[in-house]
Structure 1
């Protein structure tokens, strides 16, 4: 017969460890208006929209013009939404925004405008259905993201 004593002794330790891990999760955003939570959600939705487009552009999944255009339209709708949530003082965890966002506000605004314009160009190109023309337009959006992240986004907080 198997003795349960070792398991019963370990149970409180296991429960305690689980409770400690629950406390290690991200803190709730209790700041007025929750700007970090809102901008992160919008930027994550942007990524969830942009990635399937990239998979099509790279030929990992079949290119479906109508689906790509739907994603491009959604990306354009999202392209202007996160920026109002970059409020002064909203650098608390889990924000990855560098102080340069506010110290170089004109450059940050220019990076936003470059991105928005690139997305608009991608939508225009997506309407042609020509994948060969879409690829460079997609890369232009990707490059605008990378340039902004290089200057204005810090390392992961995890």
Structure 2
């Protein structure tokens, strides 16, 4: 195989590999990015409450505020007609919008409750565990019904 053929083959391979990427500006790309931010923030908060990370009142309160703000953003990127094979959403999400919106409200309510729990200072991890569990349960409920694993 000549060098020219090898270069062309590698170039074609790189171009094809790039075709599977999700456009970060598409609704799918935007909601995936938001969900990743929510996951990272939630993992940090849970880590502080479960002893994997040192508990820091200020960081926890900031994280709760960030999670509450993030929890209100991905839903606008679920346009009714959009279906993408690269999505982790099951087809039922498009057919059962009323139930999906109910779970969205539960998520938003749970993050608001967590944020409200951070206003009583000093923050005590024991008082934050139940509101954090409610957030985790809201995530899990939606995933169980609408996420394709």
Q: TM-score, normalised by structure 1?
A: 0.80
Q: Which has the larger radius of gyration?
A: 1
1:62-112 alpha-carbon deviations (Å, 9 max, x no partner): 110110000000111111111011112322132111121121111100000
Q: Residue 23 of structure 1: CA displacement?
A: 2.2
Alignment RMSD (CA, Å): 2.5
**Which of 51, 76, 86 lines up with 1:59 in the alignment?**
51
Matches within 5 A, 1:1-158: 16=9, 20=13, 23-25=16-18, 26-29=20-23, 34-128=26-120, 129-155=123-149
Q: Distance in 1 between matches of 2:46 and 2:7?
A: 43
SS in 2 for 1:90: coil
Q: Residue 125 of structure 1: CA displacement?
A: 1.2
SS in 2 for 1:61: coil
Q: 1:99 to 1:15 in 2, by over 3 A?
A: same
What stretches of structure 1 move > 3 A for 4+ residues in a row? 12-19, 27-30
Q: TM-score, normalised by structure 2?
A: 0.85
Q: Residue 41 of structure 1: CA displacement?
A: 1.2
SS in 2 for 1:60: coil
Contact residue 30 and residue 77 of structure 2 kept, 8 A: yes
Q: Distance in 2 between matches of 1:22 and 1:58?
A: 44
Unaligned runs of at least 5 residues, structure 1 = 1-7
Unaligned runs of at least 5 residues, structure 2 = none
Q: Residue 120 of structure 1: CA displacement?
A: 0.6
